[in-house]
Amino acid sequence: MNKPLENSTFVIFGATGNLARTKLLPSLYHLDMENQLPEGIKILGVGRRISDRQAWIEELENDLKGKVRGGLDKKLFKNFCEKLEFFNGGLRETANYQLLSEFLQQAQFSRNISFYFSLPPTLYGSVVTHLGKAGLLKEDQGWRRVVVEKPFGNNLESAIDLQRHFDKYLKETQIFRIDHYLGKETVQNVQVFRFANLLLEPLWNRNYIDHVQITHSETIGVGSRGSYYDEAGALRDMIQSHLLQLLSLVAMEPPVSMQAEDLRNEKVKLLRSISPIPKNAVSSYAFHAQYSSGIVNGEKVKGYIEEEGIPEDSVCETYAAVKLHIDNWRWRDVPFYLRTGKRLAEKRSMIAICFRQPPKQFFRTSQLEKFQPNWLLIGIQPDETLRMELTVKKPGLDMKTQTISLDTCLNEDTSKDAYEGLLLDVLEGDHTLFLRADEVLQSWKIVDPIIRYWDSQTDYIPTYAAGSWGPEESLRLFEKEGQAWRSSLNPEKNR
Ligand code: BG6
């Protein structure tokens, strides 16, 4: 049985915003439902839009209704509400931090405090500074933790600058940089799959693997997040963070142990081994595009520039594809292709590992015929699967072949949100699934040449029809003729 958690106070800045309403509070409710929260915990919502606790609870009841597992249970919700408090105030006004500090002096609040920044990232620096100046980050009466969402900075330079603000008032052990992908079941399974199965290890290198693809595709557009997204774009929003994390887990060396620092050391080492993208050849390594109107799931949808809050001359990318090489003994000359896009044909996150062809192809009917290579597919969502494709003989008198797959569904209950485990880790003080400062800075270093190049291209961006798989031109990133994106788990659908 796990040690009971120390009592603490969980402060959510931006408690009435989208992330808190759709992810944090439903996850906290679920944790409460499963008796996972510490005895005596208080969850303090901080926000401007709502005036007091009662109004917050009313809004919350509505929000949770459609979201929680098994429907909202009156008794559980009542219990949950007993843990909730509200502080009305904006974070741009210095005076509010003093008021917040006084509010937190009440006996009902534990002195162990987590501050969750569910805020626009541009506010992180100033909020940390204000908290620091108000003495709220000092650990003399209990621990203090700060949880930040990505993006941590906007490019390498701003991330370094933001880190300086954090260093002034916080120790690294107080900071929890969330990447919610690390909380996903299948993502955690990548480590178990790699390091608990010896049979893969001899194959997991440049001798047997031809290339690796990591895809994250979405059918949704930018929705109401236009003002954030137009500043970020797909590269910063997904590749710099989530997809580089997936790549590190697939490609890193076995760590000394599964403890946070050992794991993070190994990920940083891997990120540092990625060859820098040459400034004068960015277009051979990266491709970007923006969705125009089209049909998604049978419905007509707007193009990006017609979305709410998007300037009509925006050249922000909603699709990004990047090729990276890892310059180490294991991976030299094995390209890793990462791509992500909004308003694509399907919602899917998948790691697809393509093995090399056997040295000699015996079972061909013509000189031109090539076998399908073996693929190992790790489906992250919506299907949490593991699938190995092999070539076998087709039944019959002829020596014809076909591709079959050995696959398994890893998890049928996909209702658990990645945030549930991550919030619990914050309360426990476990950094294993959070990013360390050097990891974030190294990830920015990798994408920085692309950011600079794309930022300089202010007058044109290629487009793709919403509902498609993105522009064909992105195929130019592939190094070998005939190679293409693996978009589906099903090999037939992919052709
Ligand atoms: C977020 C991005 O970090 O991840 C969003 O900001 C994206 O743009 C989301 O939609 C994808 O997460 P998931 O868990 O739905 O794959």
Does residue 495 carry a pLDDT above 70?
Answer: no
The band of 291, judged by pLDDT with boundaries at 50, 70 and 90, is very high
Centre of ligand 1 to C-alpha 350, Å, is 14
Q: What is the pLDDT of residues 196-210, one digit of tens each?
A: 999 999 999 999 999
Please report which confidence band the pLDDT of residue 494 belongs to, taking 50, 70 and 90 as the band edges.
low
CB 291 within 8 Å of CB 304: yes
User: Which atom of ligand 1 lies nearest, measured to the CA of 349?
Assistant: 16
**Domains plus CATH for the chain?**
9-149 (3.40.50.720), 182-414+435-477 (3.30.360.10)
Tell me: the pLDDT tens digits for 301-310? 999 999 999 9
* 30 is annotated as an active-site residue: no
The arithmetic mean of pLDDT across residues 134-150, rounded, is 96
Give distance in angstroms: CA of 222 to centre of ligand 1: 10
Residue range 63-77: mean pLDDT, rounded: 92
Query: Taking 90 as the threshold, does the pLDDT of residue 370 lie above it?
Result: no
- The β-bridge partners of 393 are 401
pLDDT at 371: 74
H/E segment holding residue 406: strand 401-409
> Does residue 367 surpass a pLDDT of 70?
no
What pLDDT is attached to residue 272?
A: 98
Give the residues surrounding ligand 1 with Cβ less than 6 Å away: 218, 237, 349
Sequence-distant (≥ 6) Cβ neighbours of residue 131 within 8 angstroms: 97, 115, 137, 146, 169
The average pLDDT across 317-342 equals 98
Buried b (16+ CB within 10 A) or exposed e, 358-394: eeeeeeeeeeeeeebbbbbbbbbbebbbbbebeeeee
Q: Tell me, what's the pLDDT at 66?
A: 84
For ligand 1, pick from 179, 240, 242 the residue to mutate: most ligand atoms within 8 Å of CB.
242
Distance CA 323, CA 212 (A): 10
Of the candidate ranges 150-164, 183-197, 406-420, the one whose mean pLDDT is the lowest: 406-420
Percent of the chain with pLDDT over 90: 86
Q: What confidence tier does 399 reach under pLDDT thresholds 50, 70, 90?
A: confident
C-alpha pair distances (Å), 440 with each of 92, 255, 445, 459: 26, 19, 9, 30
Average pLDDT over all residues of the chain: 94
Q: How many angstroms separate the CA atoms of 7 and 50, rounded?
A: 27
Catalytic residue, chosen from 216, 242, 288, 325, is 242
Q: Which atom of ligand 1 is nearest to the CA of 232?
A: 6
321 near 450, Cβ under 8 Å?
A: no
| Closest C-alpha to ligand 1, atom 10 | 218
Nearest CA to ligand 1 atom 13: 181
Is 349 a residue whose pLDDT tops 60? yes
Q: How remote is the C-alpha of 312 from its chain's centroid?
A: 28
pLDDT tens digits, one per residue of 411-463: 777 678 899 999 999 999 999 999 999 999 999 999 999 999 999 999 999 99
Q: What percent of the chain is modeled with pLDDT above 70?
A: 97
Q: Evaluate whether 470 touches 289 at the Cβ level (below 8 Å).
A: yes
Could you say which DSSP state residue 4 is in? P
Residues 117/14, Cβ–Cβ less than 8 Å: yes
Binned at pLDDT 50, 70 and 90, residue 2 comes out as low
Could you tell me the pTM of the whole model? 0.94
Cα(180) to centroid of ligand 1, in Å?
8
CA of 346 to the centre of ligand 1 (A): 14
Expressed in angstroms and rounded, the spacing between residue 50 Cα and the centre of ligand 1 is 26
**Ligand 1: distance of its center to the CA of 26 in Å?**
17
- Residue 409, pLDDT > 90, answer no
Nearest CA to ligand 1 atom 5: 237
Q: How far apart are CA 465 and CA 290, in angstroms?
A: 9
**Residue in 27, 119, 180 to alter for ligand 1 test, most ligand atoms within 8 A of Cβ:** 180
Ligand 1 mutation pick, 184, 218, 435, max ligand atoms within 8 A of CB: 218
| Span 119-133, pLDDT tens digits | 989 999 999 999 999
Question: From atom 14 of ligand 1, which residue's Cα is the shortest distance away?
Answer: 181
